[in-house]
Amino acid sequence: MSHKNGFWSGLLILIGWVSLALPASAQHFQQVKGTLAAVSAGRNEVFGLDTKGNVWRYHAASSSFGKIAGVSLDQIAVGGGTLSQLDEVWGIHANSNVYRFNYSTKTFDQITGAVLSQITVGVGNEDQCHPYEVWGINPSQDVFRFDYCSGQFNQSPGSLLTQISTGGSDVWGININSQIFHYSFAQEKFVQVSGSLAQIAVGVNDVWGVTSSNDVLRNDPATGAFNFVSGSTFQVAAGGDGVWLIDTSGNIWRFDSSAENFVQVPGSLKSIAVGSGTGVFGVSPSNQVFTFIRP
């Protein structure tokens, strides 16, 4: 090998070393223009709500949010997108009316007859009538699943939940007594799982929860048990873009699957949304919006 070739080979190796060393230190949250009270992220779409209930849609090309006219919401859910289908975007108004985003008109259409106080959206693949898993809970804690063939929500018999979450075609919930339930598609009902949680989050391949004592737990599919991972947790969020938590002091942590523990990321947030392709977005205590940057 010539000295010239040896020089360039050595330089390429050095660049490789630098590229491996950069991500850990260069990863950070970067502020996005505007202020929002809440954000929800999917595979290709990110939507948010401001303090007045106005709806905003994120435009990646300009790294900014644009306002959606003609609707006011108190809750928004984005998800279910894949290589072959768009994300679904659903919302709820304070009067419990339910709305679905129409990509053609770029507005939200009200779903007639639906009254919900909570909604969740994820990937579906059970049958042709459920290309997405869209589930909701009404003010009486009854659980409903949206049927795309009939265009309406059907009640899931025998289920009373106060919180519901879906991801990876899986559906989990918690009732008023903090008991945990997992939906069985074979039995077409929610089955109780041992343990107690105050919050639950379903990722692509795993399920996480936060207890009333602020411990974060992870479900072991082999045993069915929720096992302790870390303490002092305020919120946990999971999706295709990882598992993240905010601790009780507002600090941000990212789960490192290779080390099987959480690693702190600089910054402070009051809530975090994990997408499955759009990335990770967060809202600060002053309602500033941030997105996680990987170099």
Q: Considering the domain boundaries, does residue 228 fall inside one?
A: yes
- Per-residue pLDDT tens over the stretch 178-203: 999 999 999 999 999 999 999 999 99
What is the per-residue pLDDT for 295?
67
Is-contact 75 45, C-beta < 8 A? no
Nearest to 282 by CA among 37, 81, 27, 25: 37
The CA–CA distances, whole Å, from 191 to 203, 232, 254 equal 19, 29, 30
The residue among 245, 249, 277, 79 whose CA lies nearest residue 167 is 79
Residue 173 lies inside a defined structural domain of this protein: yes
Give the pLDDT of residue 27. 83
> What is the pLDDT, as a whole number, of residue 16?
36
Domain count for the chain: 1
Residue 94, pLDDT score: 87
| Residue 53 included in any domain | yes
Q: Domain of residue 207: give its range.
A: 30-293
- Domain membership flag for residue 10: no
pLDDT at residue number 95: 85
72 within 8 A of 54, measured Cβ to Cβ: yes
pLDDT at 10 (0 to 100) = 40
pLDDT of residue 159: 87
Selection from 63, 153, 49 nearest residue 94 by Cα: 49
Q: What is the pTM of this model?
A: 0.90
Q: What residues of the chain score a pLDDT lower than 50?
A: 1-24
Q: What is the pLDDT of residue 126?
A: 87
User: What is the CATH classification number for the domain harbouring 169?
Assistant: 2.120.10.80
DSSP 102-167: ETTTTEEEEEEEEE-SEEEEEE--SSTT-SEEEEEE-TT-EEEEEETTTTEEEEEEEEE-SEEEEE
- Asked, for residue 266, whether it belongs to a domain, the answer is yes
HSE-up of 54 (CA within 13 Å, CB side)?
12
Output the six-digit token pair for 206. 């795993």
